[in-house]
A = this chain, B = another copy of it.
Amino acid sequence: MISIIMGSDSDLPVMRQAADVLKALDIPFELTIVSAHRTPDRMFEFAKTAHERGINAIIAGAGGAAHLPGMVASLSPLPVIGVPIKSSNSIDGWDSVLSILQMPNGVPVATVALNAAKNAGILAAQILGAQDETVRSRIAAYKQQLAEGVAEKYRKLEKVGYEDYKK
Residue numbers of A with Cβ under 8 A of B are 7-10, 12, 16, 19, 31-42, 44, 51, 56-57, 64-67, 70-71, 73-75, 77-79, 81, 89-95, 97-116, 118-120, 122-123, 126-132, 136-137, 139-140, 142-143, 146-147, 149-151, 153-154, 157-158, 162-163, 165, 167
Residue among B98, B131, B163 making CB contact with A65, cutoff 8 Å: B98
Shortest A164–chain B CB gap in Å is 11
In the bound complex, how far is the Cα of B67 from the Cα of A120, in angstroms? 19
Most buried by B among A40, A73, A75, A158: A40
Shortest A110–chain B CB gap in Å is 4
A110 touches B81 (CB 8 A): yes
- Report the copy number of this chain in the oligomer: 8
In the bound complex, how far is the Cα of B34 from the Cα of A78, in angstroms? 23
Q: Nearest CB to that of A140 among chain B residues? A: B77
Q: Nearest CB to that of A86 among chain B residues? A: B91
B32 touches A40 (CB 8 A): no
Most buried by B among A115, A132, A162: A162
A167 touches B99 (CB 8 A): no
- Given the interface pairs A79-B123, A146-B38, the reply to whether A99 lies near B67 with Cβ below 8 Å is yes
